[in-house]
Amino acid sequence: MIHILFTGGTISMQRDAAAGGNVPVHGGAALLRLAPGIERISRYRIEDWARMPACHFTHDGLWALRERVREVLESGEVSGIVITHGTDILEETAYLLDRTLERQVPVVITGAMRTSSDEGWDGPRNLRDAVAVAASPSSAGRGTMVVFAGQVFAGRTAAKRHTTDLEAFSAPHAGPVGRVSEESVAFASTPEARTAPVRPGSLRARVAHVPMVVGDHGAMLDLALAGHDGVVVETFGSGNVPPGAVAAMGRWLGENKPVVLASRCWWGEVTPVYAFEGGGARTTAMGAIPAGPRTPSQARMELAIALSAGVPYGSA
């Protein structure tokens, strides 16, 4: 049995002339009528959990979704879960679920880039593909995955790379782990051994995301200091910041609030090799932490999870 949990997003939308654009309309039953063939893949049940754009999620909303998924997983009633989700923050949701839930039962997240009013609506194919992945015996032990345009990505690596392309998702630090073709699922390798998931009691920590700009003097970092528990600094290149921002980073560290360095570059990681003022070697020596194989949004979610759980950044 596959549990299909609908949260909204573009896959649920159609164009509304009175509203002046796309709005959520379709519930789960309506979407499944528009995506025939899923009944051939697996038995399923429907849950209309929400019908909203992804950009309306809050931390509390993300945690409520995580808790609902956990309840379904722990019920023992399903062999997989499929979540339909708006693409705007789909990568944050995928990261949260992949880092905090058990991995034996697959959780597959999908969505669409076009609405049911558009030519070439990709929702039905993505939904069928997601159910195929969730129902595949080879998905066991892989945890949360993102399925889009025939590709399968690990939940902790998937990121939206394009605003409108049908192939909107990629994994800049990893690549796809599998593919789906005509409801046939093929993975590139067996599930990797991983440490236990992090188990925060909530997503209470508030983490700022401050991108660096040319000539930055740390004003935005200082403004964010009072209301946040940690910060992800989106750096240039391999971890460098303007010299004027260094003192502000020091003020975060002086209050024992972690500073994580994530590059604005799409590919590659922060590599602290530059020892000039503002260089990554200097700021990591102060106590800043490289993000590792994470985009800035993934680094922000990792830090929020770690602070909420009381564990070091990237410890699990």
Give me the active site residues, please.
10
Read out DSSP for 17-48? Answer: TTTTEEEE---HHHHHHHSTTHHHH--EEEEE
Helix (H, G, I), strand (E, B) or coil at 216: coil
CA 28 to chain centre: 22
Using alpha carbons, list the distances in angstroms from residue 118 to 85, 114, 259: 18, 6, 43
Q: In whole angstroms, what is the distance from residue 113 CA to residue 117 CA?
A: 12
Beta bridge partners of 181: 184
Reference 312, options 260, 247, 269; nearest CA is: 260
CA 38 to chain centre: 25
